[in-house]
Structure 1
Amino acid sequence: PVTVPATPTLHLPASPHLSSPAPSAPPQKVTCVSTGSTTVRVSWVPPPAASRNGVITQYSVAYEAVDGEDRGRHVVDSISREHSSWDLVGLEKWTEYRVWVRAHTDVGPGPESSPVLVRTDEDVPSGPPR
């Protein structure tokens, strides 16, 4: 008898539906403006349409102090996709921060924007000099 080796068969669905990947580009035109001694407003525009790879579902903003007491990295997640700016609050006075923004689809986060440097304002004097 002749034995023919079995050939593995690959079965593909008629129309394969792959979920779209995360964004392949970060949000654009990221700017940061100090709006007080402990607050910074971060603004951005969405990634280019060709790089979104689906619907942007949310944004996240990461920040860390370059100088100052708390140099840990902090992340604000779940910023609604309707937002194009966010206020970071509770920051240290007269401190320089690095800030990044990233867009997310339901698959996951895209790349972070290039870091933007911003310094919070000096505090206003609490009273007249003595």
Structure 2
Amino acid sequence: MSAERTDVTGGSAGWTDPLVRELKRSMPPGALLGLVLDCDGTVLELGLLRVAVGFRGRGHAARVLARLCAEADARELTVVCTPTDEYGADRARLEAFYRRHGFTPVAPEDRLTEHPWERMPQTATPTTEHQEP
């Protein structure tokens, strides 16, 4: 992915920088959020999602990731990431976390980027009302 961030309309940084600022402000006092995003108009790269150690296990990361996925879905973007055990995370737990949010591991030959996990855009299934004859 290029170093320059662009949104689906081609503008530099576009919607990701304001979203990162908003999500960081949404954290409780003292709860730091590490969040790095990059977008090329097709793929939203989640470079880092990290909640301060003393605030883990309280649903903050799940809330942030759900919002990122919703924003990506609205723009029909695939979200990519690389779960690791860096920053004190348990990789198996992190992979389970990403699976709960719709991410799956992808074979190297099928990857959109160098990231091994992807979440395809989710679209709402239209419902049809049952009509009486």
Q: Which has the higher contact order (CA 8 A, sep 6+)?
A: 1
Superposition TM-score, scaled by structure 1 size: 0.27
Higher strand share: 1
Superposition TM-score, scaled by structure 2 size: 0.27
Higher helix share: 2
